[in-house]
Amino acid sequence: AYRADEEYDYLFKVVLIGDAGVGKTNLLSRFARDEFSFETKSTIGVEFATRTIHVDGKLIKAQIWDTAGQGALVVFDLSRRVTFENTARWLQELRSHTDPNIVVMLVGNKADLRHIRAVSVEEAQAFARKEKAFFTETSALESINVADAFTGVLTQIYHVVG
Residue 24 near residue 76 (C-beta atoms within 8 A): no
Q: What's the CA dihedral at 58, 64, 68, 70 to 10 degrees?
A: 20
3-state secondary structure of 82: helix
CB of 139 to ligand GDP, least distance (A): 4
3-state secondary structure of 110: coil
Residue 24 near residue 17 (C-beta atoms within 8 A): yes
CB of 48 to ligand GDP, least distance (A): 13
Task: Find the part of the chain contacting ligand GDP (CB under 6 A) among 5-13, 22-30, 54-62, 82-90.
Answer: 22-30
CB of 143 to ligand GDP, least distance (A): 9
Site string for ligand GDP, 119-158 (x = CB under 6 A): --------------------xxx-----------------
Question: Is residue 47 part of the contact set for ligand GDP (CB under 6 A)?
Answer: no
